[in-house]
Amino acid sequence: MSNTVKKKPRKAAAASKPKISVVPDAAREAQSNAALLARREASVARGVASAAPVFASHAENAELWDVEGNRYIDFVGGIAVLNTGHRHPKVIAAAKAQEDHYTHTSFQVVPYEPYVALAEKLNDLAPGDHAKKSLLVTTGAEAVENAVKIARAATGRPGVIAFTGSYHGRTLLTLGMTGKISPYKKDFGPFPSDIFRAPFPSVRDGITVQDALTGLQNLLLTDAQPERIAAIIIEPVLGEGGYTPVPFEMMQALRDICDTHGILLIADEIQAGFGRTGTWFAVEHSGVVPDLITVAKSMAGGYPLAGVIGRAEVMDAVIPGGLGGTYGGNPVACAAALAAIEAIEEEGLLARSTALGEHFRTRLAEIGARVAPFRMWDIRGLGAMLAVEFVTDFDSATPDAALTRAVVAHALKRGLILLSCGMHGNALRIMVPLTASDAIIDEGLAIFEAALVDAIADLHGHA
C-alpha cells in the first residue's frame, strides 16, 4: 500500500471529555498509581504482566485518564478490543438496556434472543455464500479451542497445522499452536500432540511464499500425514508475531492445499476482525473463503465475547451438548456486540480504517525519515492494523528491542499508550480506536515523534 495519503480521513465526532472530580488529599494518595501498584504486587499473580504502571480511572473514545488525573491518548485500545472506542454510546446503551431484563441464564439452560440475533448477524457478515452457523463463547482462546474441536469432529482427524510466529491463545491446546516461546509458552509444557508447525513467509528471515509452501509440503510428506490433519489455522495478519499480513497468494495456496487433502481452513480473526483492516475480516482482502473463522476482541466493543463462525454442515458435526460453556454468549455481551457492529456500519468505520491506515503510513514514514533515519525498517499491515519495526541500522537490520521499549516508555510519560509486538519485541503496533478524531490521531503521532527523539537520545547517552 502506498505511503501517500489519497484522501484526508473523515473527522470523527469528538467525544466530550469527562470531568475529573476533585478528591481529598488522603483519598487521592490512597488511589495513587504507586499505592495501587504496591497492592497489585502483593495480591495479583506475578505471571499477569501489565505494560503500563498506571491505573485507569475512566476513558472516553480514544482517551484515558489514570487515577491521578493524568490524560493519555490510547493507541492500544485494550489490545485491539476497542475499534468502536471506549464506552461507545450505542454499546453502553445496549448493554444497560439488556441488564434491565436479565444478565445470565446460561444459553444451555434457557436460551435468549440476543444470542440468536448475533449468530444471525455473524453468519451474514462472514465471507462466502454458503450456509453458516455460529457458536458464541467468552474468550479468544476458547474460540480457537472450539474451532479445533469442531474441525476434529467434522473430519474425524486429530492433527492441526499452525505457523511460526502465530498466536492463538494461552490455554494448553492453544499454546501448542502458538508459535512463540517467551513469555507465552515458557515453563508450561508438555503441550498436546498432533500439532505441527509450518514456516511463515518472512522478508526478514528470507523466507519467500514459495519457501513457506515448500516447507508446508515437506511437513505433509515427513511428519503431518494429510489424512490425519483436521485443520490448518492461520492469522490473516499475524498479531503478537509482528502484524505481518499473510501474502494473498499464500492464503490462496493454503485454500487449494486444504481442498486437495480434505483439510479445513481456519482463519483466526480474533485480532484482525471487525474493521481493523478495512474489511469486516482480514481474510477478505485475499478473496479466500475459510471453512471456520474465530472471532473475539472488537466484536463486542469492550465486553468479553468470542465465537466461531463456520460452514453449517461443519458446525453441525458436533453432537448436541458437545459445545458450550456456562458464560458462553452472555446476553449483555451479545447486546453490546450487536450495537458495536451497528456502529461500525452506521459510522463507516471500514472506510475510516482504510483512510487511517494511509494517514498513519504517511506520517510514520515522515517521522522516521526526519528523526530516526535508518532505524524504522518497516511500516506494514492492512488498513489501520499497522506496525512499525525498529532496527539498529538498515545494513544489518538487527532488531532493536531496546529502542522499541524506550519509545513505549517515553510515550507513556508524554501521554500516549503504545504496545510492542513481534518475535524480537522490536515492533510497535497501532490499534487506535477507529472512532478517534483526526485531532486526537495527530496529537498522538506528535507525541510518538517526541518519544522517538527521547528514546534515540537515551540510547546515545544524551538524556
Residue 183: asked if its preceding bond is cis (omega within 30°), the reply is: yes
For the chain, the first-to-last Cα distance in angstroms comes to: 36
Query: Both 235 and 105 in a single domain?
Result: yes
Provide the 8-state DSSP code for 158.
-
Going by C-alpha positions, the residue among 292, 296, 268 that lies closest to residue 282 is: 268
Say what the pLDDT of residue 3 is.
40
Query: Both 136 and 243 in a single domain?
Result: yes
Parent domain of 139: 91-346
Say what the pLDDT of residue 8 is.
36
Query: Both 416 and 447 in a single domain?
Result: yes
Q: What helix, strand, coil percent values describe the chain, rounded to 5?
A: 40, 15, 45
Provide the 8-state DSSP code for 393.
-
Is 13 a member of any domain?
no
Is 318 a member of any domain?
yes
Say what the pLDDT of residue 27 is.
53
Which CATH number belongs to the domain containing residue 335 in this structure? Answer: 3.40.640.10
Say what the pLDDT of residue 180 is.
86
Going by C-alpha positions, the residue among 357, 353, 379, 356 that lies closest to residue 368 is: 379
Is 86 a member of any domain?
no
Query: Both 73 and 144 in a single domain?
Result: no
**C-alpha cell belonging to residue 194:** 498432533
Asked whether the CA dihedral 434, 436, 441, 447 is positive or negative, the reply is negative
Which CATH number belongs to the domain containing residue 43 in this structure? Answer: 3.90.1150.10
| Total domain count, the chain | 2
Query: Both 167 and 200 in a single domain?
Result: yes
- Would you say 166 and 236 are in contact if contact means Cβ atoms under 8 Å apart? no
Say what the pLDDT of residue 289 is.
98
Query: Both 265 and 138 in a single domain?
Result: yes
Ordered mean pLDDT values, 10 residues apiece, the chain (463 residues): 36 43 50 95 95 96 98 98 98 98 98 98 98 98 98 98 96 93 88 96 91 97 97 97 96 98 98 98 98 98 98 98 97 98 98 98 96 92 97 92 97 98 95 98 98 92 56
Is 175 a member of any domain?
yes
Query: Both 336 and 429 in a single domain?
Result: no
Going by C-alpha positions, the residue among 127, 177, 135 that lies closest to residue 291 is: 127
- Would you say 155 and 262 are in contact if contact means Cβ atoms under 8 Å apart? yes
Last residue of a domain, one of 346, 370, 388: 346
Provide the 8-state DSSP code for 207.
B
CA atoms within 13 A on the CB side of 117: 15
Query: Both 297 and 342 in a single domain?
Result: yes
**Sheet containing 63-66: which strands, arranged edge to edge?**
56-60, 63-66, 71-74, 416-417
Query: Both 327 and 224 in a single domain?
Result: yes
- Would you say 142 and 325 are in contact if contact means Cβ atoms under 8 Å apart? yes
Is 49 a member of any domain?
yes
Say what the pLDDT of residue 30 is.
65
Name 242's Cβ contacts closer than 8 Å, sequence gap at least 6.
165, 387, 389, 421, 422, 423, 427
Query: Both 263 and 339 in a single domain?
Result: yes
- Would you say 6 and 358 are in contact if contact means Cβ atoms under 8 Å apart? yes
